[in-house]
Amino acid sequence: MPRRARIQLPGFPVHLIQRGNNRSACFYAEEDYRFYLDHLNEQAAKHGCTLHAYCLMTNHVHLLLTPEKDDSLGKLMKALGQRYVQYVNRTYRRSGTLWEGRFRSCLLQQEAYVLACYRYIELNPVRACMVEHPAEYRWSSYRANAQGEEGCISPHSLYLALGQQSEVRHAAYRELFRHELEPGLVDEIRQATNGNFVLGDGRFAAEVERMLGRRVVRGKPGRPFKKSSPPPASGELFA
């Protein structure tokens, strides 16, 4: 049975997760995290992906990116994955696979979910009880987004809308982290990402569905998917 094609559109942000094989560790030392981030930055620029947020956990990776082209994301993750696996195998004298098959991803409705995904990603170490506050975790983009530390990220337009000056944006961003994400929202992001669906309201899902001509949300049992009508003219999409 052929694999279901990914749901992605150029210019629309994507949250993705890639896990270690059998949920085994994929980072063992500080140098490993640094190697991954250096090559993430390099390959993202090479393949036309803008990185907004990230979190490197011991056995998986979260990224929030906006691809420029249909194949930007796939090319980035293929090149990055190959380079990192070669590095790990050479460094630790191992062989074989490191990642658990394909990465999982979801297309985001920007206004409703981009900042939520920033928080979801950077709060991962807190939910895992590794730290009490995201600023304590070194291998995420929180310090860059909330404190202005140098990093390999580029702000999304909704992040920039938090304030005209960087100090104002940083303060507004830190304010978003005063409380943890609601459990229902966490589940929503997880389900959409693990299922490779869109993350948005019904209208957004219907518009993406019309454009791609296939189902983009979880189906209901017993109700086969009907092929959508042709996509609207470009001026009507996401109006």
Instruction: Work out the average pLDDT over 159-171.
Output: 96
Give residue 228's pLDDT. 46
Cβ atoms 167, 83 nearer than 8 A: no
**Percent of the chain surpassing pLDDT 70:** 90
HEC-encoded secondary structure of the chain: CCCCCCCCCCCCCEEEEEEEHHHCCCCCCHHHHHHHHHHHHHHHHHHCEEEEEEEECCCEEEEEEEECCCCHHHHHHHHHHHHHHHHHHHHCCCCCCCECCCCEEEEECHHHHHHHHHHHHHCHHHHCCCCCCHHHCCCECHHHHHHCCCCCCCCCHHHHCCCCCHHHHHHHHHHHCCCCCCHHHHHHHHHHHHHCCEECCHHHHHHHHHHHCCCCCCCCCCCCCCCCCCCCCCCCCCC
Residue appearing with tokens 């920033």: 118
Give dist(CA 220, CA 207) in Å, integer: 19
14-200 CATH, one of 3.40.50.10490, 2.40.50.140, 3.30.70.1290, 3.80.30.20: 3.30.70.1290
For the chain, what are the domain ranges?
14-200
Instruction: Work out the average pLDDT over 84-104.
Output: 92
Give dist(CA 89, CA 84) in Å, integer: 9
Give residue 213's pLDDT. 79
Rg (CA), the chain: 18
In one-letter notation, the amino acid at residue 102 is R
pLDDT of 216 over the 70 cut? yes
Give residue 9's pLDDT. 87
Give residue 3's pLDDT. 63
pLDDT of 234 over the 60 cut? no
pLDDT of 7 over the 90 cut? no
Instruction: Work out the average pLDDT over 83-100.
Output: 93
Sheet holding 104-108, edge to edge: 49-56, 60-67, 14-19, 104-108, 198-199
**Percent of the chain surpassing pLDDT 90:** 72
Give dist(CA 152, CA 56) in Å, integer: 13
